[in-house]
């Protein structure tokens, strides 16, 4: 990538391995053997986020929802649970290939295969592990990346046994399996983790057993381009369109693809859980560790991937994520490959790192972690030996994102700060465009109590000679930003303050000239230093989203040297914008809304949008907040526009106790307008009942869930918005 390059090393003595190195930074790989020998490692520079693909698996004319379903094994079961089910733990088994529904343990017809596999395992094992350890213990060790040959062998066998349990190999043909593994072992173009045959174009003909063929003409290969990694001299023998034992696309070809896909899915799921647990074990992102040294040290070891693409850096108090999403979509509409880093996430940690607008896939996330983990551990050790901390949760994700963007590779990365600016781990990026959205009071414990202190911290992202784009700000904030802009010699594009005369020298040039609410969003007229953009549809509600769109437009103009953007780019870019958890409708009759607003400034903007877009006669708020937030300020903004409030707990160690929140709510609303619920589901149900109890049509009543990003995520999950 960029300043580095790939290096591949091959093992000897019957094994092969691969490593990756970035410009003298680091390399890693591991060797394992099966039969003739194979190696594992991680090759970078592919479209990792495109690798994950789900397959429908089934035999005998039925589709099994997941490997092991035939034995009643739940999805995501541990290796021990699989072994127990296969070898008989007393649990009933249904849907086996032999049709013995209600039988216990393994299908007797499959015993010869398993005995042969066990014999092979016993003969090839170096440590003489017994059956239990070779299946359960060695599999766990293999998933964790153990380099032991015995562990690697047991990992393979355990995956094969799961497939047998799912009746994916009904013939129990050990020769067929050995041939497949030999084929993989002999291929030198890629490693086991990245191997997958190319699926045939169009649906394959069903086999004699009625098993469905593979649909998906043009289905992407593992690397997302429709071509698998087996493109060497022997590629023809490795593709699914090559003649197999039963002809092209026949049962043997399908079984081979099923085998690889299912074994891979089991491993990927487990590895993803382990990696996420490792990252979450670190200091949380709200615990500030004011230093950029740890992140800079890791990036130096990696060959400074953040220098291989352009960066738009975004800070502010409110509107950051929506603005970042708009910038990314506009850039994508120009044909650029984009990276996006945002926080926090709503449903999955992978949302924080997006490639071309989509969250990074599980395999891409795993690859990003495996690439940076050795360097992170090295820097952790150095820091701790000097009495310092390990890299925090947010620092690790920052490093992973910046490395993943280089591996993609992207043309431009749009990076949102986590907290503040000066000491935020994202401030290692050499950005040439910076954006500061509206600044208000938030995170005062870490950023300071005054607007001037908060503004100074956020202005810390400004780099020499960059283009700076800013929203209209309070006078105190504006003064701080102006001083920083002058110090760094930036080109400053700022929003016109409502109190300013646009004809005055030095007045802001960015303006929302006009806007009209529309179905699904609003029509706006936006003026920048380069052009006036007429009749632009923004699929988000509220004046604040129109202003976010203005900042995004100016930022993308700056990427292109300040030139006006083609109308088609603007139209397509904004049309594709989404912002989950931002004034999002979860249901109707009555309308249930959710918003991630978590400070008085943001909630005030939200209230304005709700009043503009929704003609509610009655509105009930569902509120949960973090202990470090201004709960009284949030409730005071909500009280004039809501008939009642239901306070709910949040599943977070940072959350304010629900009874403490209820006490504050009673002071603001009065005791008769406050309800305390034990959980979110009960709170929403109570709020809906209250809204329906008013003498008004259901279309005129609504529920607003607000107060925390975590609460918004839980609400979306409650209504099936994952």
For 315-365, what is the HEC assignment? ECCCCHHHHHHHHHHHHHHCCCCEEEECCCCCCCHHHHEEECCEECCHHHH
Per-residue pLDDT tens digits for 292-347:
999 999 999 999 999 999 999 999 998 999 999 999 999 999 999 999 999 988 88
Say if residues 658 and 627 touch (Cβ distance below 8 Å): no
pLDDT of residue 164: 52
Report pLDDT for 542.
92
Is a pLDDT exceeding 90 seen at residue 150? no
Tell me how far apart the alpha carbons of residues 582 and 484 are, in angstroms, rounded to a whole number: 31
Q: Residue 122 pLDDT more than 70? A: no
Q: Is the pLDDT of residue 71 over 60?
A: no
* Residue 273 in this model has a pLDDT that exceeds 60: yes
Strand partners, 315: 436
On the question of pLDDT at 499 being above 70, the answer is: yes
CA distances from 677 to 176, 587, 620, 630, 711 (A): 59, 20, 14, 20, 14
Average pLDDT over residues 138-159: 53
Which residues touch 136 (CB under 8 Å, ≥6 apart)?
A: 79, 80, 83, 158
pLDDT at residue 466, as a whole number: 97
The reported pLDDT for the residue numbered 504 is 83
Asked if residue 629 has pLDDT above 70, the reply is: yes
Q: pLDDT (tens digit, 9 = 90+) per residue, 232-262?
A: 333 334 444 444 445 566 777 777 787 777 7
- pLDDT tens digits for 443-458? 566 666 788 999 999 9
Q: What is the pLDDT of residues 546-602, one digit of tens each?
A: 999 999 999 999 999 999 999 999 999 999 999 899 999 999 888 999 999 989 988
Mean pLDDT of 404-418: 96
Could you give the angle at which helices 393-407 and 362-385 cross, rounded to 10 degrees? 130
pLDDT, residue 194, reads 52
pLDDT at 493: 96
Q: What is the mean pLDDT of residues 85-100?
A: 43
What is the pTM (predicted TM-score) of this model?
0.66
Q: Report how far apart, in Å, the C-alpha atoms of 129 and of each of 35, 119, 146 are.
A: 18, 12, 15
Instruction: Describe the chain by its helix, strand, coil percentages, rounded to 5.
Output: 40, 15, 45
DSSP 8-state class, residue 195: -
Whether 165 shows a pLDDT value over 60: the answer reads no
pLDDT of residue 176: 57
Instruction: Check pLDDT > 60 for residue 479.
Output: yes
Confidence tier at 61 by pLDDT (50, 70, 90):
very low
**Residue range 167-210, pLDDT digits in tens:** 554 444 556 556 655 655 565 544 545 544 443 344 433 433 33
CA distance 478 to 475: 5
Q: Assess contact for 303 and 5: CB atoms under 8 A.
A: no
- Percentage of the chain beyond pLDDT 70 is 64
Q: What is the mean pLDDT of residues 515-527?
A: 94
State pLDDT tens for residues 332-391: 999 999 999 999 888 899 999 999 999 999 999 999 999 999 999 999 999 999 999 999
Q: How far apart are CA 545 and CA 539, in angstroms?
A: 9
Give the pLDDT band of residue 78 (cuts 50, 70, 90): low
What's the average model confidence in pLDDT over 686-707?
86
Mean pLDDT for the chain?
Answer: 76
Residue with tokens 């940076």: 372
List phi, psi (to 5°) of 525. -120, 120
């Amino acid at each position: 990538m960029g300043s580095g390059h790939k290096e591949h090393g091959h093992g000897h003595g019957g094994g092969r391995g691969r490593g990756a190195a970035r410009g003298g930074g680091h390399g890693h790989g591991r060797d394992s053997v099966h039969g003739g020998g194979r190696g594992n490692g991680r090759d970078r520079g592919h479209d990792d986020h495109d690798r994950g693909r789900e397959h429908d698996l089934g035999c005998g004319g039925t589709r099994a929802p997941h490997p092991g379903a035939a034995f009643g094994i739940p999805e995501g079961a541990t290796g021990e649970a699989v072994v127990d089910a296969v070898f008989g733990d007393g649990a009933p088994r249904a849907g086996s290939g032999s049709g013995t529904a209600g039988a216990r343990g393994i299908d007797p017809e499959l015993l010869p295969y398993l005995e042969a596999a066990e014999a092979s395992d016993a003969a090839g094992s170096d440590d003489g592990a017994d059956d239990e350890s070779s299946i359960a213990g060695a599999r766990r060790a293999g998933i964790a990346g153990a380099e032991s040959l015995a562990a690697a062998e047991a990992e393979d066998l355990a995956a094969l046994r799961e497939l047998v349990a799912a009746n994916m190999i009904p013939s129990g043909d050990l020769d067929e399996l050995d041939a497949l593994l030999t084929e993989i072992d002999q291929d030198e173009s890629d490693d086991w983790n990245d191997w997958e045959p190319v699926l045939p174009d169009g649906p394959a003909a069903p086999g004699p057993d009625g098993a469905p063929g593979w649909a998906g003409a043009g289905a992407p290969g593992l690397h997302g381009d429709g071509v698998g990694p087996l493109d060497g001299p022997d590629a023809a023998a490795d593709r699914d369109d090559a003649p197999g034992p039963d002809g092209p696309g026949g049962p043997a070809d399908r079984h081979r693809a099923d085998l690889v896909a299912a074994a891979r899915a089991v491993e990927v799921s487990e590895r993803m859980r382990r990696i996420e647990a490792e990252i979450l074990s670190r200091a949380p992102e709200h615990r500030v560790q004011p230093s950029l040294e740890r992140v800079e040290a890791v990036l130096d070891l990696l060959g400074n991937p953040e220098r291989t693409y352009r960066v738009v850096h975004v800070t502010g108090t409110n509107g950051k994520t929506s603005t970042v999403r708009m910038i990314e979509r506009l850039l994508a509409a120009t044909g650029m490959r984009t990276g996006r880093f945002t926080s926090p996430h709503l449903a999955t940690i992978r949302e924080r790192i997006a490639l071309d607008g989509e969250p990074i896939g599980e395999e891409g996330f795993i690859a990003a972690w495996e690439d940076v983990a050795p360097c992170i551990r090295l820097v952790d050790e150095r820091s701790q030996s000097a009495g310092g901390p390990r890299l925090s949760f947010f620092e690790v994700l920052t490093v992973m994102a910046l490395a993943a963007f280089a591996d993609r590779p992207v043309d431009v990365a749009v990076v949102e700060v986590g907290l503040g600016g000066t000491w935020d781990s994202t401030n290692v990026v050499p950005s040439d465009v910076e954006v500061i959205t509206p600044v208000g009071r938030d995170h005062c414990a870490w950023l300071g109590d005054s607007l001037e202190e908060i503004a100074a911290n956020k202005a810390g992202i400004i780099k020499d000679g960059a283009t700076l784009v800013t929203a209209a700000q309070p006078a105190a904030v504006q003064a701080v930003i102006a001083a920083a802009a002058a110090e760094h010699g930036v080109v400053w594009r700022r929003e016109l303050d409502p109190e300013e005369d646009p004809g005055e020298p030095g007045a802001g040039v960015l303006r929302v000239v006009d806007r009209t609410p529309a179905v699904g969003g609003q029509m706006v007229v936006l003026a920048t230093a380069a052009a006036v953009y007429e009749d632009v549809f923004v699929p988000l509600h509220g004046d604040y989203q129109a202003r976010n769109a203005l900042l995004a437009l100016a930022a993308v103009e700056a990427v292109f040297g300040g030139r006006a953007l083609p109308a088609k780019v603007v139209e397509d870019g904004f049309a594709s914008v989404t912002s989950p958890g931002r004034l999002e409708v979860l249901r109707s009759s009555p309308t249930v809304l959710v918003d991630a607003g978590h400070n008085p400034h943001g909630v005030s903007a939200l209230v304005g949008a709700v009043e503009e877009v929704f003609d509610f006669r009655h509105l009930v708020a569902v509120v949960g907040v973090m202990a470090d937030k201004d709960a009284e300020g949030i409730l005071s903004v909500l009280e004039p526009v809501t008939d009642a409030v239901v306070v709910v707990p949040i599943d977070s160690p940072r959350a304010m106790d629900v009874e403490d929140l209820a006490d504050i709510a009673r002071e603001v609303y009065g005791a008769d307008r406050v309800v305390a619920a034990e959980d979110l589901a009960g709170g929403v149900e109570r709020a809906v009942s209250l809204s329906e109890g008013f003498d008004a049509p259901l279309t005129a009543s609504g529920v607003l869930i607000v107060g925390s990003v975590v609460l918004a995520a839980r609400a979306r999950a409650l209504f099936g918005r994952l």
